[in-house]
Amino acid sequence: MFEYRFSVRGYELDSYNHVNNAVYLNYFEQARWEIMRETGLLDMLLADQIFLVVTEINIRYSKEACLFDKILIRTIIELSGPYVIFKQRMTNEDTGIKLSHAVVKTIPLNKERVPCEVPSEFDILITQTQKF
């Protein structure tokens, strides 16, 4: 399981004075970038000119996130056929309350932008992953 921590920024609030729904996707995306970096996968994929493209996202919004809230995103990864699936949970770290949950389906594309096999390097992710 991977963990990513950060705080809500002022310009991420919308006119309802809470974090806009699209910004949650930014947060979840950044948690995935951090995983790719930590594990060295980012460099491996760049070297092979492979990149992960998002094909589907299912996101549930449970509670609003507000200015300066401390956020924790926990991510686990599963392989399923040609897909790399990220299951991500966002909580308010001070209260422990769950804010959101997302399932993000991605597919690796090669340099011709054609779907390719999930590179074996992804096994790193899986073996490092436990349940929430």
Residues marked as catalytic:
14
Closest to a copy of itself by CB, 69 or 127:
69
List 1, 3, 5, 21, residue binding a copy of itself (CB under 8 A): 21
- CB of 127: closest distance to a copy of itself in angstroms? 24
The one-letter code for the residue type at 86 is F
- According to DSSP, the residues that pair with 101 across neighbouring strands are 60, 89
Find the binding residues for a copy of itself in span 43-72 (CB under 8 A): 51, 53-61, 67-68
Rounded Cα distance between 62 and 123, Å, is 31
Task: Please give the torsion angle defined by the CA atoms of residues 23, 27, 29 and 32, in that order, rounded to the nearest 10 degrees.
Answer: -170
Contact 92, 70 (CB under 8 A): yes
Residue 132 binding a copy of itself, by CB under 8 A: no
Interface residues with a copy of itself (CB under 8 A) are 9-11, 13-17, 20-23, 25-26, 29-30, 33, 37, 51, 53-61, 67-68
